[in-house]
Each structure stands twice: as C-alpha cells, then as structure tokens.
C-alpha cells in the first residue's frame, strides 16, 4: 500500500497489480486533497490509511485501474466503500459525474 507522491507509468501499475489481482489494482482517491492511494487487497485498507493521515471520509472514493486497458475501460468506479446513502451514493458505483471527473483528474496527475 502506498500514497503516490510522483507519477508512475502504466508498466509500474502492471507490476503493482501483479502482486494481487494480476490485471487490476485497487485505488482510493481523496478528491479534496488530490491524493491517490494504491495497491491493497481491499479498498477499505487504503481508505483506513488515508483516514489515519488526515483525510475525511466524505472525500474518499474507491475504484479500480486496469493498466492494460485504455479509454473508459481503464477506470472502473466500483467499491464497497462508495456505498453512502448519507452522501446520496446508494451503490458501489461512483454515481456523481463531478466526483468521477475529479477522480479521473487525480489519476491523470499520477499515472502516465
């Protein structure tokens, strides 16, 4: 598990993915702070790490990256940590299009 501090390549993402899910890597973004945590078996582990370092729950969103895919198939907005009726998100999906765009922006900031 790590919070990225600099850009990484898709090849580096593939290497990280090979540690757990082969073709996919779990991620959590803090959309307020612009942080990206990667590489855990559970989104909840990444969420906990960010919470311990000062992030706030309402700003954390889980998703998966598929390093070998492109376009819309690169990011999958699916995680149990996204189920938040109190925030209007009633499914595992990131339902708010603005939040999706914030996540995409954070990913493009850290992934080449």
As given in the structure block, the two tokens for residue 50 are 């960010």
Sequence ranges of the domains in the chain: 2-110
Q: What is the pLDDT along the chain (112 residues), one digit of tens a residue?
A: 999 999 999 999 999 988 888 899 999 999 999 999 999 999 999 999 999 999 999 999 999 999 999 999 999 999 999 999 889 999 999 999 999 999 999 999 999 8
| Long-range contacts of residues 32-36, Cβ cutoff 8 Å, at least 24 apart | 32/56, 32/59, 33/59, 34/106, 34/109, 35/3, 35/4, 35/106, 36/3, 36/4, 36/106, 36/107, 36/109, 36/110
């Amino acid at each position: 598990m790590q919070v990225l501090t600099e850009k990484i390549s898709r090849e580096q993402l593939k290497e990280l993915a090979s540690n757990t899910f082969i073709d996919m890597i779990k991620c959590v973004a803090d959309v307020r702070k612009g942080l990206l945590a990667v590489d855990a078996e559970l989104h909840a582990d990444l969420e906990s790490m960010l919470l311990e370092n000062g992030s706030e729950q309402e700003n954390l969103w889980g998703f998966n990256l598929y390093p070998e895919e492109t376009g819309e198939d690169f990011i999958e907005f699916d995680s149990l940590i996204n189920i938040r009726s109190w925030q209007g998100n009633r499914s595992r999906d990131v339902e708010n299009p603005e939040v999706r765009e914030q996540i995409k922006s954070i990913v493009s900031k850290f992934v080449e």
